Amino acid sequence: MKTKTCKKCGTEKELSEEYFCKRKASKDGFGSMCKGCDKRYREGNKEKRKEYCKNNKEKFDEYAKQYRESNKEKTAIYMALYSKKYKEENKEKISEYRKNNKEKNIEYANKYRDGNKEKVAKNDELYRKNNLEYYAGCKQRYRSLKKQLPSTLTEKKWEDIKTHFNHRCCYCGSKKPLVREHFIPLSKGGEYTHNNIIPSCRSCNSSKSDKIFSSWYPKYKYYDKKREKFILNHLNYKGNIQQTEGDSKC
């Protein structure tokens, strides 16, 4: 068993990660002080280390940059895990900070966007491509609000609606990519709420367009009596009267 003597306390200990911190620059790959002495040294020289870091910011920034470039995969995994863990453990702290520093955060975000326009534009484009459904919902919500119609459908409610329809098109039953279909068309006063939005594939959505369900669906090539009944029951449809905001049991 290899041992090493701590230069600070003079105690001989096993040469392992249990007693010594790793240090690549050292011949044996470990620091000269044991972990206990190293911790006490750091705690006793916080201000001194803080001042040194402040005076050598460019040096540390360059070192960090080189390390990230040389360890991209490792860094990405670590940052993802650390960020997620930190956010989960400090939800209230983060929320409070954002609440008390709104102007500062906005100023920082604007400054960053101005200095990294190409990078921000590329990231924004990539985010939109990966979140087309979310942006489609934002667009529909905006159109409803513009017409002064109720617009209360949340992402969670939309996920619940898709689950209720088994992630299939409400009209043809296919498992193609789904869009948010206005049961009563927006042009005819259809709300953007859980009482009026149902999942549809793009083909059926395009076929229906702004037609009224009762006159369009019975003649549609994919018409199905069971699906028709399921849709109407889902919307809590009674006596050919469309339920409005707050009336649905969904």
Residue-range domain boundaries for the chain:
61-112, 133-234
Return the top range by mean pLDDT from 68-82, 128-142, 199-213, 236-250: 199-213
Q: Tens of pLDDT along 18-60?
A: 999 988 888 889 999 999 999 998 888 888 888 888 899 888 8
pTM over 0.75: no
pLDDT at 250 over 60: no
Q: Of the candidates 144, 186, 180, which has an alpha carbon nearest to the alpha carbon of residue 162?
A: 180
Q: Which of 165-169, 199-203, 233-237 has the lowest mean pLDDT?
A: 233-237
Q: Tens of pLDDT along 116-167?
A: 989 888 888 888 888 888 888 888 889 999 999 999 999 999 999 999 999 9
CATH code at 133-234: 1.10.30
